[in-house]
Amino acid sequence: MSAYLRATLLLLSVGLCQVAQAQVSKGNLILLNRGVQIAGLVTPDNYFHPDTFSNAYYNTVTFNFNSSGNLGPISVFTGPAPGSTWARWIADETNMPGMGVNANGVSRTNEIPYLSQLVAAQLGDEWNLNDDATRNRLVTWFTNVHSSWPNVILYHNNWGGQIADPQLGDFVTRAQPDMMCFDTYPWQSVYDINQPNHTGPPIPGPGSGLVASWFGFLRQDREYARAVQIPLGVYRQTFHALQDYNSTVYRDPSASELRLDTFAPMAFGAKFFTDFTYNTGASSLFTNAFGGAGDSFPNTNGLYAEITDINKRARNLGRALTRLTPITIEHQAGYTTSILILRGKDASGNLSPVPTGFLTQNATNAYTYWQKALNDPFLTAWSVTNSAHLKNNGYPGDVIIAWFKVLDEALDGTGYNSQLYFMVVNCLTDPTGTAADCKQRINLDFSNPPQTTAVLLDPETGSLQTNNLTLAFGNYRLTLDLNGGDAALFKLQTGAPFVGYVPPAAARITVSSRTNAVNLSIAGTVGCRYELEYATSLPGAWTPLTNLVLFSSPYVFQDSLANGDARFYRVTGSSY
């Protein structure tokens, strides 16, 4: 059903405003409507092809400070206004989107027609927030800009472990960022001055202190995000670099490592990914044989093919994960127990290190702190086998089990409560070979499950599949065969719908005016995602306005972009 209203409206810098559900933070609400964000950090002065980008299932262009470069204006990268979803780094207080001039002297007013598609703005990068003056400056910045950008995720990024807990906690409390974000790049080689380019053998993932440190940093930011119920964002390593100044060699990740770089953070609650970097000469995804840079199609390599599959899987999993949040109960003060790490071994048979913030009951435990029936009432036992037996001398690698609950009870309909979801990640990786070379079989045994089936979200297709649980030593077993770095998301069958898969009913719109805005009251299925479109005449072309998830029916959405134009509106059920 379409509605028509003519009104005289003021054009706002960000003119779409959804009335937020009280229990859902601004950052989570934006990701509910737009989906998991898979971004590539784009340098506008290097070659960029929108089809190469979108064919790899990226959905957000993140500009490295400038949204225009030698190749042209923002439209080159996001299409005609309002364009596709984009984000940008913000260098300082005068550098906000649509304001001032960029490094090439081009006025940022050329961004204004695209602001409705601006999904995120990173305010500064890796500032030393341990310094009180710097932290206060950033807090002031957030305080000043929050109200002007109601539909943009505002955040800051630090490297993993850069900021001490007291200072990080103070920043989160006073600045109230819309998302936590950090970068850590674990895929490295030994720095050896006796080797060409000072590059020695690759440091493997299984049993690596680098991977354990990365998990510890994921855990730190997850805990701050979880405490205030905001999303977690991470940078993925898609670059190589030799850094003589600190004796560090960053190498291109392998297929299994690139997968783990996505799905391990997802198990920790990450919903926003930015590749560092996408189209520079250091990119892992393109082979620039002549010393150039860019994403020209002939330059795509095997890791580009891998990231294409990974991004597709991440966006499919995101249909549910944007509606989920880590469970909130921790059973040991100061430690994370809502994630279980089944400790694998390195190639010599030694147990992998325990990441900071996790606890084992004694030094010989093969898993981090866990007690039956604390995180869920059913999980009883498990086993892990390096089924490919091609890497790591046949020893198993780590496995992550994480527990999630529904972000808001309305999101899986009104008839069910307290549904639990499991995410399992195979952390076995190797610097060489395929992801299949690191396949592991993971058996999970459940005692007295509500039914003898489990519902899994197939990350390859985005469809749901029902798996039978088999009897095993008096319990019911779910068997997962996962390639290196891959993940599974499932819930035990309870009769409740899988979150994100509640079928939407036809919706209705009623329209009313208010000062500088139009209120659209949308009646539909609670918990479902709808696409709102408008046209300026009938018959005429329909233009997407926004996606939104209904937390109630009716649900109010404000359109402040009509600017005196006649608009017709329609709304249809949608999926990611």
- Write the pLDDT tens digit of every residue in 80-129: 998 999 999 999 998 899 988 877 777 889 999 999 999 999 999 999 99
Rounded to an integer, the average pLDDT of 336-352 is 95
- And the tokens for 519? 């209120």
Rounded Cα gap, residues 234 and 264, in angstroms:
11
Query: Would you state the pLDDT for residue 17?
Result: 53
Rounded to an integer, the average pLDDT of 339-353 is 96
Query: Which has the minimum average pLDDT: 316-320, 323-327, 361-365?
Result: 361-365
pLDDT band at 284 (very low <50, low <70, confident <90, very high): very high
Does residue 168 register a pLDDT over 80? yes
pLDDT band at 291 (very low <50, low <70, confident <90, very high): low
Residue with tokens 């409390």: 173
pLDDT band at 18 (very low <50, low <70, confident <90, very high): low
Percent with pLDDT over 70 in the chain: 93
Does residue 2 register a pLDDT over 50? no
Q: How far is CA 160 from CA 142, 181, 182, 221, 234, in A?
A: 21, 9, 6, 8, 10
From 247, 214, 231, 222, select the one nearest 177 (Cα to Cα). Answer: 231
Q: Where are the domains of the chain?
A: 1-23+503-576, 24-323, 339-492
Query: Would you state the pLDDT for residue 103?
Result: 72
Query: Would you state the pLDDT for residue 549?
Result: 87
Q: How far is CA 333 from CA 180, 329, 340, in A?
A: 22, 10, 16
Class of domain 1-23+503-576: mainly beta
Helix (H) or strand (E) holding 299: none
| Cis amide bond preceding 82, omega within 30 | yes
Does residue 7 register a pLDDT over 50? no
- And the tokens for 262? 């996505």
Rounded to an integer, the average pLDDT of 547-568 is 79
Rounded to an integer, the average pLDDT of 274-294 is 86
Q: Residue 403's CB: how many other CB atoms inside 10 A?
A: 21
Does residue 517 register a pLDDT over 90? no
pLDDT band at 6 (very low <50, low <70, confident <90, very high): very low
pTM comes to 0.92
Query: Would you state the pLDDT for residue 149?
Result: 95
**Mean pLDDT across the chain:** 91
Rounded to an integer, the average pLDDT of 264-280 is 97
Question: Mind listing the pLDDT tens digit for each residue in 355-364?
Answer: 999 998 776 7
- And the tokens for 100? 């001032």
Residue with tokens 């898993």: 367
Q: Residue 518 forms beta bridges with which residues?
A: 513, 559
Q: How far is CA 149 from CA 117, 118, 178, 297, in A?
A: 12, 10, 11, 36
Does residue 312 register a pLDDT over 70? yes
- Identify residue 313 by its one-letter amino acid code: R
Does residue 167 register a pLDDT over 60? yes
- Identify residue 147 by its one-letter amino acid code: S
Rounded Cα gap, residues 257 and 437, in angstroms:
12
Question: Mind listing the pLDDT tens digit for each residue in 416-465?
Answer: 899 999 999 999 999 999 999 999 999 999 999 999 999 999 999 999 99
Class of domain 24-323: alpha beta
Does residue 289 register a pLDDT over 80? no
Query: Would you state the pLDDT for residue 54?
Result: 97
Query: Which has the minimum average pLDDT: 24-38, 168-182, 460-474, 494-508?
Result: 494-508
